[in-house]
């Protein structure tokens, strides 16, 4: 007569490094583990992964929800579990990301401009509109915003201005997507401050993107810079230093 010498499986990490919350392998008669049942269980898991992959292809926005379940029940052959599928999809996303990071790079660089004259620098103090309508003024103001960790406001405004000049539909849709991911998404480190009403407008506009998708948001950020950052810039050492760069002219009445 065959005696059962199998010992209960302890709740320890498996050889592949995945933690086993409990022994999920089905036990046969007298506590033995039938190999046929084990292969069947592995086959079921593989079929489940294939079904998840098919579903992900049809609805890619659900990929993030599946990542939390990766490798939580695999106790062998990790290469066949959903962990690999999630890692592959993350790898593909990382290879796609640079394609639009490069497009944004041109926007994040300072605009080319000549050295401002004393008349231009003085005009910046007359109104915020004159400051923003002058390339040198925008660059100087942007440098100040960087010191206040709010440069994203100017970057968003410039991106919206660039979007308005675009007429190609496919390019417009791509730029709208990039702007949303970089400045509107709550997951972005460069998210701008917008109220709920404007965000609802943006979400509706995203259904049919156009070159004016972010008009309301752009106006709100423009107003925010005008009321909040602009008065501080006028009294900052950065702006006063520009005026002092023309000593013989700044003293004129």
Same domain assignment for residues 236 and 121? yes
User: Is the pLDDT at 170 greater than 70, yes or no?
Assistant: yes
Distance, CA of 169 to CA of 154 (rounded, Å):
25
Which comes out higher in pLDDT, residue 95 or 144?
144
Of 95, 123, 147, the one marking the end of a domain is: 95
The mean per-residue pLDDT over the stretch 174-186 comes to 97
> Domain containing 120 — which CATH number?
1.10.167.10
Phi, psi for residue 215 in degrees, rounded to 5: -60, -45
- Residue 1 resides in a domain: no
Same domain assignment for residues 51 and 143? no
CA 171 to chain centre: 19
Task: State the average pLDDT for the chain.
Answer: 74
- Residue 250 resides in a domain: no
- Residue 206 resides in a domain: yes
- Residue 9 resides in a domain: no
- Residue 251 resides in a domain: no
Of 47, 66, 95, the one marking the end of a domain is: 95
* pTM for this predicted structure: 0.57
- Residue 91 resides in a domain: yes
- Residue 102 resides in a domain: no
Same domain assignment for residues 146 and 41? no
pLDDT digits (tens, 9 = 90+) for 55-84: 555 554 444 444 444 444 344 444 444 444
Of 44, 65, 95, the one marking the end of a domain is: 95
Same domain assignment for residues 86 and 118? no
Domain boundaries, position 84: 29-95
Q: What integer pLDDT is reported at residue 110 of this predicted model?
A: 66
Same domain assignment for residues 85 and 114? no
Same domain assignment for residues 119 and 225? yes
Same domain assignment for residues 116 and 216? yes
- Measured from the Cβ of residue 138, the count of other Cβ atoms closer than 10 Å reads 20
Same domain assignment for residues 46 and 138? no
Which has the minimum average pLDDT: 3-17, 161-175, 218-232? 3-17
Which has the minimum average pLDDT: 31-45, 54-68, 187-201, 216-230? 54-68
Total domain count, the chain:
2
- Residue 20 resides in a domain: no
Same domain assignment for residues 82 and 139? no
pLDDT bucket at 98, cuts 50 / 70 / 90: very low
pLDDT digits (tens, 9 = 90+) for 215-243: 999 999 999 999 999 999 999 999 999 98
Q: What integer pLDDT is reported at residue 176 of this predicted model?
A: 98
Same domain assignment for residues 53 and 160? no
Same domain assignment for residues 131 and 195? yes
Same domain assignment for residues 119 and 174? yes
Three-class DSSP labels, the chain: CCCCCCCCCCCCCCCCCCCCCCCCCCCCHHHCCCHHHHHHHHHHHHHHHHHHHHHHHHCHHHHHHHHHHCCCCCCCCHHHCHHHHHHHHHHHHHHHHHHHHHHHHHHHCCCCCCCCCHHHHHHHCCCHHHHHCCHHHHHHHHHHHHHCCCHHHHHHHHHHHHHHCCCCHHHHHHHHHHHHHHHHCCCCCCCCCCCHHHHHHHHHHCCCCCCCCCHHHHHHHHHHHHHHHHHHHHCCHHHHHHHHCCHHHHCCC
């Amino acid at each position: 007569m065959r005696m059962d010498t199998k010992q209960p499986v302890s709740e320890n990490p498996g050889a592949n490094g995945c933690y086993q919350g409990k022994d999920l392998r089905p036990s046969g008669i007298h506590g033995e583990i039938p190999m046929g049942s084990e292969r069947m269980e592995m086959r079921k898991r593989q079929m489940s992964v294939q079904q998840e992959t098919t579903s992900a292809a049809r609805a890619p926005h659900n990929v993030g929800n599946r990542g939390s379940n990766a490798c939580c029940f695999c106790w062998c052959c990790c290469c066949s579990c959903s962990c690999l599928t999630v890692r592959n999809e993350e790898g593909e996303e990382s290879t796609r990301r640079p394609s639009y990071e490069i497009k944004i790079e041109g926007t994040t660089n300072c605009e080319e401009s000549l050295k401002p004259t004393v008349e231009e620098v003085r005009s910046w103090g007359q109104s915020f509109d004159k400051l923003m309508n002058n390339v040198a003024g925008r660059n100087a103001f942007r440098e100040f915003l960087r010191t206040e960790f709010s440069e994203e406001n100017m970057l968003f405004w410039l991106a919206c201005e660039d979007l308005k000049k675009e007429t190609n539909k496919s390019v417009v849709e791509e730029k709208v997507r990039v702007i949303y991911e970089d400045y509107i998404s709550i997951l972005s480190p460069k998210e701008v401050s917008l109220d709920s009403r404007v965000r609802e407008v943006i979400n509706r506009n995203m259904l049919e993107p156009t070159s004016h998708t972010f008009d309301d948001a752009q106006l709100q950020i423009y107003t925010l810079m005008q009321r909040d950052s602009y008065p501080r810039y006028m009294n900052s050492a950065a702006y006063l230093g520009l005026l002092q760069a023309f000593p013989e002219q700044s003293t004129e009445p």
